[in-house]
Structure 1
Amino acid sequence: MENSTHFKVFRLAAYGDIGQIKYFYFTVVTIIYFVIILANALLIGVICIERSLHEPMYLFLCALFVNQLYGSTGLFPALMFYLLSDTHDISLLYCYLQIYVLYTYGLTEFCNLAVMSYDRYICICYPLQYNNIMTPERVCSLILLSWLYSFFLNAINISLSLRLQFCDNVLDRLYCDNYSVVKLACSNTTLNNIWGLVATVLSFSCTILPTIYSYVRILQICLKSSKETKQKAFNTCTPHIASLLNFSFGWLFVILQGRYETAHLPPILRTILLVYFLICPPLFNPIMYGIRMAKIRQACIKGIEALT
């Protein structure tokens, strides 16, 4: 354990010295966070209040919106604070807490999207048995399992990182992420690396593979079905596929920045790619689903009319 030091804080170097422009950034970030809270909370409220939306597809959407609020809260309050602060130190405890929140958000998002693809698969491939398969108990179990699975995997991840000793405390990030923290360690990180690989395989096999299987089966059914069935499948699956691709690209940007040198990219572009998965999906999903899904759109209009 050469030259290790017991650091009490990490320094988030990505903020740098941004001068007076920090007030502009703070305003933009505040507006984005406000819109995210408003859009997601509005649709959560509509789905909870409107009884006609108490169906599996909308309950899974509600879980998706709740998770997006959870993940955004892991970034935006701290981001707003550090933009205005003259010091950019973050305590080890809060750093690990932020890692846990952001990583559970990421994995839960993939789990929710996988469950939603399974729901569409049952709806399109087994329409007559849909209500018998997707019972309220099963819907609740799938939502709960998505959260518990993510919390459990990331609890192991954090427990392995907590034991590390560090040679440096400077993170070239706007927020804490586990890969950057582990890279600063002087102590042996073999267990962290092994668990990182295991967790990646488990996450991929339990989220991406079921999603791919669901859409392969949906495609097979659509190729043999009527034009009406194809149109129904297209209407219900398009928003989900867009959400999946949007979030997957955002997470990929984070992974690539952690493992490859990106100093040649403009700082503002690096920053956007780093926070994309925490900004674009929570902004994009409620707006897209609110516009694309007639039942949600009508419930929102009815609610606005009732208030006015």
Structure 2
Amino acid sequence: MDTTSNTSTSFILLGLMELEKQKYLYFFLSTMVYSYILTVSSVIIYAILKERSLHEPMYILIASLLFNGIFGSSSFFPKLMIDLIISSKKISRTVCLIQNLCISTFAIFEMNTFTIMAYDRYLAICQPLQYIMLLTNEKVVKIISGCWGITFVILFLLLFLTAALPLCGDKMNNIFCDNMSLIVLACVDSSNSSALSATVFTIYFVTTILVTAFSYLRIFFVCMNLSKESRQKAVHTVVTHLLNFSIFLIGVLFVVLKYRLGNITLPLTVHVLLSVTPLVIPPVFNPLIYGVRTHALKIKLRHYLWNVILGGRWAQIHRH
């Protein structure tokens, strides 16, 4: 690392140099994955918005989760694909900060949504008679909007502190810009900034995990007293949520592991894989899992796609 303050207007992403050897393969894979996320997630979101029978808190939350996946993917994939095509290894300071804010917002809001979904299932299963009054569609929309606003404000303040740090060096072991990649370039002692960020995120994650764990534990105990059919339906729903939640937590764990192993010499490819896991895996699996495991949604998707196919064929026949 350089010992002089970095006055340059851009950073070098070393991970892109690693991908340069097979850039066309990575461009193809990125295009396919990003197209899949956009297409499948958009179809499910449209079906939820279109079908009145799916205008319920659980499906609104699923649509919100998938929209967040599109948002997170769009803050990462388009620039990556452009960089691969033009063989660019740099990111400007401004774009770096914007990308950092977007990616951090995606991660925090993903956690928000999983927590709200756990609370939604807790009310639906543990307090079914009061559920309609306790959690209406309007309340869910307000909660989601509030989470977006609070998340953005908190992250903006934290990232503002990061942006104010004097930096030494301009090389990042990544293919995109994230908060820790900036903090480790600080010329001054960044322990205060790191401690503040760590404290905020620790309190936040511990709180959301405790709320989620409490909700699912309560559901588990209530399920023990339900009929076999009701218990199977409740367990099926809970397993779907827990599966997606676990995938996301594993991705976050990989990122934490990446920076915990910062002083250990690891191949750059490993650093890149650990970094992109939470950005790629959840948006890929969320629409697949919810589209397959959520029975009502699966039926509506089949109905919607079938109508689209038949409608297209009927239009072609009519034109001829």
Compute the TM-score of the two structures, normalised by the length of structure 1: 0.94
Segment of structure 1 superposing worse, 270-279 or 85-94: 270-279
Q: Where do 1:1-308 residues align within 5 Å?
A: 3-16=4-17, 18-19=19-20, 21-261=22-262, 265=266, 267-307=268-308, 308=310
1:188 positional shift: 4.1
In 2, distance between residues paired with 1:229 and 1:108? 31
Give the paired residue count.
308
Read off the aligned partner of 1:295 and give its amino acid letter.
A
Sequence identity percentage: 33
Compute the TM-score of the two structures, normalised by the length of structure 2: 0.91
1:288 positional shift: 1.1
Structure 2, unpaired ranges of 5+ = 311-320
Report the 3-state secondary structure (helix = DSSP H, G, I; strand = E; otherwise coil) of the residue aligned with 2:12. strand
Cα separation, partners in 2 of 1:125 and 1:292, compared to 1, 3 Å: same
In 1, distance between residues paired with 2:262 and 2:165? 24
In 1, distance between residues paired with 2:281 and 2:198? 27
Report the 3-state secondary structure (helix = DSSP H, G, I; strand = E; otherwise coil) of the residue aligned with 1:127. coil
What CA RMSD, in Å, does the superposition of the two structures yield over aligned residues? Answer: 1.9
2:6 touches 2:170 (CA, 8 Å); kept in 1?
A: no
1:164 positional shift: 1.1
Structure 1, unpaired ranges of 5+ = none
In 2, distance between residues paired with 1:260 and 1:19? 25
2:19 touches 2:26 (CA, 8 Å); kept in 1?
A: no
Cα distance per residue 1:209-253 (max 9 Å; x no partner): 110110111112122333233212211111100000000101110
In 2, distance between residues paired with 1:111 and 1:51? 25
In 2, distance between residues paired with 1:20 and 1:6? 30
Cα distance per residue 1:118-161 (max 9 Å; x no partner): 00000110011110111122111221122122112211111101
Read off the aligned partner of 2:155 and give its amino acid letter.
N
In 1, distance between residues paired with 2:228 and 2:42? 36
In 2, distance between residues paired with 1:86 and 1:242? 37
Report the 3-state secondary structure (helix = DSSP H, G, I; strand = E; otherwise coil) of the residue aligned with 2:16. coil
In 2, distance between residues paired with 1:212 and 1:15? 39
